[in-house]
Structure 1
Amino acid sequence: MEQFQKLSDFDELISVLIASEEFMTRYTCAFPTEKWVMVKISGTSDYIYVDLSDDYVSRGCLFSNYEYNESRFVRGIVRPNDTVLDIGANIGWFTIMMARLVGDHGHVHAFEPRTTTYEYLGKSIAQNKLTTNVVLYQKALSDVSGEAYITWRPTDRNPGNSWISKQTTGASTKQDRISTVRLDDLSIEPVSFIKIDVEGAEPSVFRGGEKLIARDKPVILSEINFAQLRSMSSMNWSDYRLFLNNIGYDSFYLVDGKGAASVSDAENKGIDVVSIAMWSSERKMHLKPQDIWG
């Protein structure tokens, strides 16, 4: 009970309860194979297709409480008429949210390479009548344009835990052949915000978009999986921090939806995955954590 008293609001309480082991054991719909259904996002007029065999992204969206801290951050940053990017859009939780935030005169460019996930993402966008301000790409952003493979383990109950391979792999994994493209090769208007979650391949995405990033200096929200960053990009956090500094960005990681801390602290504590917010040094004097959380 004492830990619940420290929570800031009802939404955070729901987030903690849903993530609890007891809730997962008693209430998760553990379908053995893909089972797609359309559900209403609580508190909105929007709907989203979820896969009931997905214990992670779809499960969070099913209960309308996916990534509480990150969602709160996005709502504090994205403004009407903005142009924003959702890189690694998955089933579209952030795509739909940002489309409502930017309004009819803003734009969301959403990238999702997995075939089935992309198909249902498109159905959700159509269902919510967002096709006029959302542009979907069945492509993976990278530092080269061409072809690759999106790879995943069929026994993994987190379909979002997929990664880009340049070659075919063994029988223990499944793959789709996909197209890759450089962000700088796309004609996208000035971008104010980027949400990115690409399982450790973030550096290659940023290399492929270095001109856009230098031009627009967007605020960036990025998930960092330390193990996948090492596997996919051969970087530890110190390497990646230096990389970000070299493109002019400072970073912090989200704590309880209301503060900031050193990313190094998270890695030292053995935290596997964190979400970090980044902004260019030029914006630092104008945009600080307290501006976001009040």
Structure 2
Amino acid sequence: RQRRLRCHHCSANVRLPQACPACHSTRLLTNGLGTEQTEDVLRSTFGAWPIHRVDSDSMQGKGAMQALVAEVQQGAPCILLGTQMLTKGHHFPGVNLVAVIDADALLFSADFRGEERMAQLLTQVAGRSGRAGDAGQVLVQTHYPDHPLMQAMLTESYAEQARRLLQVRQEHGMPPHGRLILLRTDSPATETGEQFLGAVRQQAEPGLPPGCRLIGPLPSPLQRRANKFRNQLLAMAPDVRRAQQLARLLVHCAEQHPARQGLNWSIDIDPLDLG
């Protein structure tokens, strides 16, 4: 609505272009479904009720969220629409219906923790409904209702899901049963990062500790950020001792290759985010 493009990762903020920079066509279409488009649909269908949108664009300024919570808790009928920030840390006792739109966005994640985070999020958001003693109802929109994780949400407690996911982690040597190391590059050209990580891998492979392995180099799930291309090399180790040996080896190899053409590299042990 403000006719601007804003990146929520690097805070870049520019005016919405009037024409395509490549072909100069002015026939531009906006694709995808966000909270603003969803709000428009809700207003056209439920125009008689107040709709409060809760996302990083609408909740700006000190006290914005607190003011909204105070208004909602007065008890008048309304619709709350928001991103994941709406699911945590706020008590709305009058909510009896929760709908999760496009749950598939969480179902297929590049991060091995994707299924765990989806189970956490759906458990949290389901807990918003029916807190005041009335029966609660939860609707989940998905194209894959037969997916094992979706079925698990209907039949298993979160503890049961967590135990099953831990077993899968153990079978594949992933944390917390194994150790994961992330060597990441940021560079003006994606080829620069790929070549750097490829050289590091080639040098490191002959000296890998027993039971360790390397994956990559690969583009990061978030491939570009703040005009830098991001690539990564993943390393897996079965225990802490060999993870430390592997990390020292990777750092040593990376230091042997000068970081040219604006390339930066970093190493992260058991990263919380693979993005």
TM-score (norm 1): 0.29
Mark the structure with the bigger radius of gyration. 2
TM-score (norm 2): 0.31
